[in-house]
Amino acid sequence: MKVERIISIGFVVNPIAGMGGRVGLKGTDGVVEEAIRLGARPVAPERAEFFLKDLKAYIVSGKIKLVTVPGLMGECEAERVGIDFNVLPLQRKDKTIAEDTKAAVKMLISGKYRVDLIVFVGGDGTARDVLDALSSDVDEAIVLGVPSGVKMYSGVFAVSPSEAAEVVKAFVDGEADVAEMEVVDVDEESFRKGRLEIHLYGYLKVPYLPLRIQGTKTPSPETIDERENQKAIARFVIENMKPDSTYILGPGTTVKAVTDLLGVKKTLLGVDLYWNGQLIPDVNEKIILETVKDWKDAWIIISPIGGQGIIFGRGNQQISPEVIKNVRKEHILILATKNKIRRLKGSLRVDTGDREVDNLLKGRIKVITDYREWRILKIE
């Protein structure tokens, strides 16, 4: 008779991860108090609970033994979901810092508490903390990121909390390969000033399932062909723009090509509002909701993240689920150069944080790829 092995999973939540997204801070490192002042609400706890709810059947059945961290770093979320768990003997804190994440990870790879898989909820900064904590054990430990940051350019994250649960189930059932994925991060201070400086910090072993693990962001190549392709897309978009319509402009060089031809200065790594020759730069969710008066004539112009294919939920959380519902799928313009399309593996992804909105967006959608050229891709 075959005896099923019980898989032990260490679960660590960075409770402040992602708070800077909707308020337009492009990250949370060093700006938590400012994010709170701007009205930011915690993001990670809810996403942690989504993940645990999708995994609950495996925990209840005894396939998974969950070990987590006191208080806001996992214990509270597990209690709200109503599952069994063990808690590490660490101090319970109301405010957490990077060292708390590192301490938890170090304990989860120690002899007494050593787990088979570490799942963390956070962003690229949290991934770096996990990498730092593992140090000499990095070759043996297996980890998985549940996305809850603002950018999440690293390849160690699942596409969404529900996809993360599916990856864990496959790992428990012995159906997931293990692959080394990059841990990258940007300088958030430079990022807030419009400069994208991505640094590679190392690699972590991750349970891998195609299309469920997001992969690492790949920057758009700075070539003449790429720039000409972006300009051609921009000309086509501008020819069809209406003077009285409001356009919510996502980040990136492809969308910036539109504003360059319009003669206005876009925030390269932020979200802007444009109508009738006027531009409000670097807006957050609150400004969008307060400024747009006629949602029937509002549009979103967005470009997927290179190499990941994610159109909402990475670096553009200012375009929130409420904004998307007001605009409607029919008024979303997706722009992608032919080179970017070739690297997307045939599909797009969304991770808005609202499952209803994610489901509304799923299905086929037109993607503008050149002047008067487009392709139909599927949002998975």
* Spans of all domains in the chain: 7-208, 224-379
Give mean pLDDT, residues 363-376.
96
Give 228's strand partners: none
pLDDT at position 139 over 60: yes
The reply to whether 7-208 and 224-379 are identical in fold is: yes
- Interacting residues of 123 by C-beta distance below 8 A, sequence separation 6+: 14, 17, 18, 27, 28, 147, 148, 149, 150, 151, 152
Radius of gyration of the chain (CA): 21
Percent of the chain with pLDDT over 70: 94
The mean pLDDT value of the chain amounts to: 91
C-alpha 227/C-alpha 195 separation (Å) is 18
Are 157 and 214 contacting, i.e. CB atoms less than 8 angstroms apart? yes
pLDDT digits (tens, 9 = 90+) for 221-259: 778 899 999 999 999 999 999 989 999 999 999 999 999
The CATH H-level superfamily of 7-208 is Probable inorganic polyphosphate/atp-NAD kinase; domain 1 (3.40.50.10330)
Burial 83-102 (b: 16+ CB within 10 A, else e): bebebbeeeeeeebebebbb
CATH of segment(s) 224-379: 3.40.50
Which two tokens mark 353? 């944080």
Angle at which helix 98-108 crosses helix 124-134, to 10 degrees, equals 50
C-alpha 294/C-alpha 187 separation (Å) is 37
Angle at 222 between CA 219 and CA 226, to 5 degrees: 95
- Interacting residues of 105 by C-beta distance below 8 A, sequence separation 6+: 10, 12, 118, 120, 129, 130, 133, 134
For the question of whether the overall pTM of this predicted structure is more than 0.85, the answer is: yes
Q: Considering only residues 94 and 261, tell me which one the structure prediction assigns the higher pLDDT.
A: 261
pLDDT digits (tens, 9 = 90+) for 108-137: 998 888 999 999 999 999 999 999 999 877
| pLDDT of res. 171 | 97
C-alpha 97/C-alpha 81 separation (Å) is 24
| pLDDT of res. 347 | 87
- Give the Cβ contact number of residue 140 at 10 Å: 10
- Average the pLDDT over each of 15-29, 36-50, 329-343 and give the range with the smallest value: 15-29
pLDDT at position 2 over 80: no
Could you tell me the pLDDT band of residue 211, with boundaries at 50, 70 and 90?
confident
